[in-house]
Amino acid sequence: MPEYLAPGVFLEEVDLKAPSIEGVSTSTTGMVGYTTRGPTKGRPVLVTNMLQFRQNFGRPFLTSDPTVLGKEELFLAAEGFFANGGRRLYVTRAVGAGAVNAASQTRGGMVTRLAPGSDALVGQPIIKPVSLRGLSAGKEIRLQMVEDGVTYLSNVLHVTASGINRATGEVTLDANITITPAGKASFLTRSTALVTRIDRIQAFQAAEGTPRPASVLLSAVDAGAWGNELVVQAAHTDGVRAEYDANLGSNRIQLKSGAGFYEKAWIEIDRGNGANSKLYRQVVSASGNIIVLDGAVIPANGLNPLAPATKTIITVCEFSLSVAYDGMLEAYRGLTLENVQGRFVTDVVNSRSRLIHVDTVPATTNPFFYPSGDNGLNLTVTTPGVDAPPAAINLIGQDLGPGQRTGLKALEEIEDISIIAVPGWGDQAVQEAMIEQCERLKYRVALLDPLVAGGTPPTLNDIQAQRLQFDSKYAAIYYPRVIVRDAAGNRRPVGPSGHMAGVCARVDNERGVWKAPGNETVRNILDLEMIVTKGEHEVLNPQPNNINVFRDFRNEGRGLRIYGARCITSFADWKYLSVRRLFIFIERSLEIGTQWAVLEPNDQRLWSKLKDSVDSFLSGLWREGALFGDKKEHAFYIDCGYETMSLDDIDNGRLIMEIGIAPVKPAEFVIIRIGQWAGGSFTEEV
């Protein structure tokens, strides 16, 4: 109760009506299957269109391998889902035990690349690299270019005594450039690296005992042969640069500006020309315009410029990575091999990349030559990625704890999922796992595909035998398979579960979950694997089969339609899929919408408030046509009070509400009775 301690006017907000209950979504779908790429454990990935699906799970498989066909239908099922009206799809990828991530470990040797627009002409002694890092008088280098799979090398070249022009960035060499094999007129900037012999760290560099930064092990973020197509390039880049001001002793260096220098940064100290003009150190600390360096103490004049240079320039040494795959491009700049917040290559790449994962491994050679590929440019795969089709056990998955679940188990992390499917898989163990999950979690249904054995289309006897293996109010099975066009342009049969999940979503959004997902056209299909006649349908539809059949009504101008909407259950009250899904909708909505009542005083006021809240919700459904009855009193009832609770219930914190509803059921058999009538007019003579 509020306190009123002084005279005045006080306003209070009060709730004048019972809290409203909002209906939940029943069209969110979860699928498990085999794709070219994508995460295989942890929280399923939400996609809302096929572009997002391709970005996360790659292209479809293009294969005629019988060990793969039929196991990789997830891509085609997702296409069918979105084409038929699906909007939200959670996907978990499953692979076999033999799947391997493509990987590559960086190598040393690359110093830099040619600057953009600065091709190195054959027959000329001048180059313009993107960075002068690592280049000094007498340094031995070679140009290396990879074009159309051919590696071109220059002759061995050396930087002349005064060959580095810091003003223009040009480097003069001791000989004209040649190219092997002959034929090219220049080394192109887009595909050329400067490669140098890995020398020992020069004088005034870090002490010999100082640990070196790590090398980099790059892996495709997901297992599979898709990673073999990754194009990864590393480039050494210059960070901030500043002019040396004074040596304060004890390796304390004053700069004209210390902005952008940071602890653990590796720096290049460029004193001008000469064989020992460049020194490399690591920054121990940076404050204002003063940096402290590691290693042996630098003499008082050890950083003075070497004539004819008049300035000593200090530059932060960094590198960049670019990753390309299937039209996707990722670029990372300002990276280091040291554990520097916001710059450490593992932290930056692993938190952002959807294509690669980075690990660090010890390096024993000059750290400034890392990372680079064997050819100084592209990081080529040294451990090829390998695809491995999943087995039933991989699709069922394992519960390894939050964030580590696989297969169907991973779908349990998403409470919003209302429909699950494993496209193309009719395996009994997989479908039993689907049904078990739906019955345990209560708020989802499983859509089952026909079992294909030996590559032959399932017959009527086959689908009946498959259906009789199960008895569940939370599952529906469909027959026959549908014909679609695959990525290669070929016609092929696929399980219809993905298409049917889309049909369910479309019906939910256009009509409501109480409308049976039957007598609906199925989009994005070319044909049916088998044409089921009306007589055959009369065998498959009724109990005990309850098999939902696709029918061909093209000769009537009605297209290809799903012409059944039953669950595979022996309980007659639950035989219609729309009834099960309506109850899921109502039960889940009530569970979420009445959470406010928990720990409220358990008395008549709470009971009345709850009844009003539920009554308002169910009345809305009745008006929309979800419940049967010409009056709402005929459509549902709500009891909550002493007639549903004993004193013991109340003493032990139990509030019990009883709700009965009369769901609308589909008009599965429309019967029109017609006969002759004698007529309604008579004549009489008078």
Crossing angle of helices 577-593 and 604-624, rounded to 10°: 140
Q: What percent of the chain has pLDDT over 90?
A: 60
Average pLDDT over residues 111-138: 81
Closest C-alpha among 361, 371, 362 to residue 332: 371
User: What does the pLDDT read at residue 163?
Assistant: 85
Q: Is the pLDDT of residue 483 over 90?
A: yes
User: What does the pLDDT read at residue 203?
Assistant: 30
The C-alpha atoms of residue 457 and residue 459 are separated, in whole angstroms, by 6
The C-alpha atoms of residue 277 and residue 49 are separated, in whole angstroms, by 57
The larger pLDDT score, comparing residue 232 to residue 113, is at 232
Tell me the CB-side half-sphere exposure of residue 437, using CA atoms within 13 A: 30
Closest C-alpha among 500, 636, 649 to residue 581: 500
Q: Is the pLDDT of residue 683 over 70?
A: no
Which range, of 281-295, 610-624, 625-639, 667-681, averages the lowest pLDDT?
667-681
Write down the mean pLDDT value for the chain: 88
Q: Is the pLDDT of residue 366 over 70?
A: no
User: How do residues 289-346 score in pLDDT, each as one tens digit?
Assistant: 999 998 888 888 888 888 888 899 999 988 888 899 988 999 999 988 888 899 988 9
Crossing angle of helices 497-510 and 74-83, rounded to 10°: 20
User: What does the pLDDT read at residue 307?
Assistant: 81
User: Cα separations (Å) of 369 from 153, 189, 316, 438, 585?
Assistant: 19, 19, 14, 56, 61
Which range, of 109-113, 237-241, 356-360, 415-419, averages the lowest pLDDT?
109-113
Average pLDDT over residues 275-287: 84
Long-range contacts of 589-594 (CB under 8 A, 24+ apart): 589/21, 589/22, 589/23, 589/24, 589/617, 590/21, 590/614, 590/617, 590/659, 592/21, 592/22, 592/24, 593/19, 593/20, 593/21, 593/22, 593/617, 594/21
Closest C-alpha among 18, 82, 74 to residue 50: 82
The C-alpha atoms of residue 457 and residue 255 are separated, in whole angstroms, by 78
DSSP state of 344: B
Q: Is the pLDDT of residue 253 over 80?
A: yes
Which range, of 6-15, 482-491, 646-655, averages the lowest pLDDT?
6-15
At residue 202 the predicted structure's pLDDT band, cuts being 50, 70 and 90, is very low
Average pLDDT over residues 75-103: 95
Q: Is the pLDDT of residue 211 over 70?
A: no
Q: Is the pLDDT of residue 453 over 70?
A: yes
Average pLDDT over residues 127-139: 80
User: What does the pLDDT read at residue 488?
Assistant: 85
User: Cα separations (Å) of 467 from 96, 460, 471?
Assistant: 27, 11, 8
Q: What pairs with residue 306 in β-bridges?
A: 272
The C-alpha atoms of residue 133 and residue 274 are separated, in whole angstroms, by 14
Q: What Rg do the C-alpha atoms of the chain give, in angstroms?
A: 36
User: What does the pLDDT read at residue 647?
Assistant: 94
At residue 151 the predicted structure's pLDDT band, cuts being 50, 70 and 90, is confident
Q: Is the pLDDT of residue 210 over 50?
A: no
Question: Which of helix, strand or coil describes residue 76?
Answer: helix
Residues 272 and 309 sit within 8 Å (Cβ to Cβ): yes
Q: Which residue has the tokens 């219930």?
A: 649
At position 608, the amino acid (one-letter code) is S
Average pLDDT over residues 493-509: 97
Average pLDDT over residues 483-511: 95
At residue 378 the predicted structure's pLDDT band, cuts being 50, 70 and 90, is low
Q: What pairs with residue 264 in β-bridges?
A: none
Q: Is the pLDDT of residue 135 over 50?
A: yes
At residue 682 the predicted structure's pLDDT band, cuts being 50, 70 and 90, is low
The larger pLDDT score, comparing residue 88 to residue 684, is at 88
At residue 477 the predicted structure's pLDDT band, cuts being 50, 70 and 90, is very high
The larger pLDDT score, comparing residue 66 to residue 621, is at 621
Q: Is the pLDDT of residue 198 over 60?
A: no
The C-alpha atoms of residue 147 and residue 549 are separated, in whole angstroms, by 56
Q: Is the pLDDT of residue 64 over 50?
A: yes
DSSP letters spanning 436-470: HHHHHH-S-EEEEPPP-BTTBPP-HHHHHHHHTT-
Residue 685: is it exposed, middle or buried by C-beta count within 10 angstroms (0-12/13-18/19+)? Answer: exposed
Name the token pair of 651: 């003493």
Which range, of 163-172, 195-204, 448-457, averages the lowest pLDDT?
195-204
When mean pLDDT is compared over 148-152, 187-191, 350-354, the highest value belongs to: 350-354
At residue 509 the predicted structure's pLDDT band, cuts being 50, 70 and 90, is very high
Question: Which of helix, strand or coil describes residue 236?
Answer: strand
Task: Give the E-state strand segments of 372-526 in sequence order.
Answer: 378-379, 419-421, 445-448, 475-479, 482-485, 491-494, 520-521
Contacts of 650 (CB under 8 A, 6+ apart): 602
Residues 361 and 68 sit within 8 Å (Cβ to Cβ): no
User: What does the pLDDT read at residue 133?
Assistant: 73
User: What does the pLDDT read at residue 208?
Assistant: 35
- Would you give the distance in Å from CA 344 to the centre of its chain? 24
User: What does the pLDDT read at residue 629?
Assistant: 92
Q: What percent of the chain has pLDDT over 70?
A: 91
Which range, of 403-407, 454-458, 531-535, 637-641, averages the lowest pLDDT?
454-458
Label the pairing between strands 445-448 and 419-421.
Answer: parallel
- Would you give the distance in Å from CA 222 to the centre of its chain? 10
DSSP state of 572: G
Average pLDDT over residues 165-181: 90
> Which class does domain 28-97+389-510 fall in?
alpha beta
**Angle (nearest 5°) at CA 189 between 111 and 185:** 115
Q: Is the pLDDT of residue 102 over 80?
A: yes
At residue 362 the predicted structure's pLDDT band, cuts being 50, 70 and 90, is low
